[in-house]
Amino acid sequence: MTVLCFEIQAKPDLLVGVNFKGEVVEGQEEVEASAWTIHLGIHKARPDALCVFHLHPPYVTALGILKDLPFDMYHQNSCYFYNEFAYDKDFSGLSLDTDEGERIAKHIGNKRVLFMCNHGVAVVGKTVAETFNDTYYIERACMYQTLAMSTSRELQRLPEHVIKITKDQYDSVRSYYGKAFFESVKRILSKKE
What is the radius of gyration, based on Cα positions, of the chain?
Answer: 18
Q: State if pTM tops 0.85.
A: yes
134 belongs to a structural domain = yes
Q: Where are the alpha helices (DSSP H) in 88-127?
A: 98-108
- Residue 61 maps to a domain: yes
Number of H helices, E strands in the chain: 6, 6
Beta-strand ranges (E) seen in the chain are 17-18, 24-26, 51-55, 85-88, 113-116, 120-125
110 within a domain of the structure (yes/no): yes
Helix ranges, 52-127 (H): 58-65, 76-79, 98-108
Residue 33 belongs to a domain:
no
Q: Which range of residues forms the domain containing residue 135?
A: 49-190
Q: Where is pLDDT greater, at 72 or 10?
A: 72
CATH of the domain at 166: 3.40.225.10
Per-residue pLDDT tens over the stretch 94-150: 877 778 888 899 999 999 999 999 999 999 999 999 999 999 999 999 999 999 999
Number of domain units in the chain:
1
Nearest Cα residue to 121 out of 34, 63, 66: 63
Residue 158 CB neighbours (<10 A): 18
In a domain, 138, yes or no: yes
d(CA 106, CA 155): 31
Tens-place pLDDT, residues 141-190 = 999 999 999 999 999 999 999 999 999 999 999 999 999 998 998 888 78
User: Tens of pLDDT along 28-57?
Assistant: 777 777 778 888 899 999 999 999 999 999
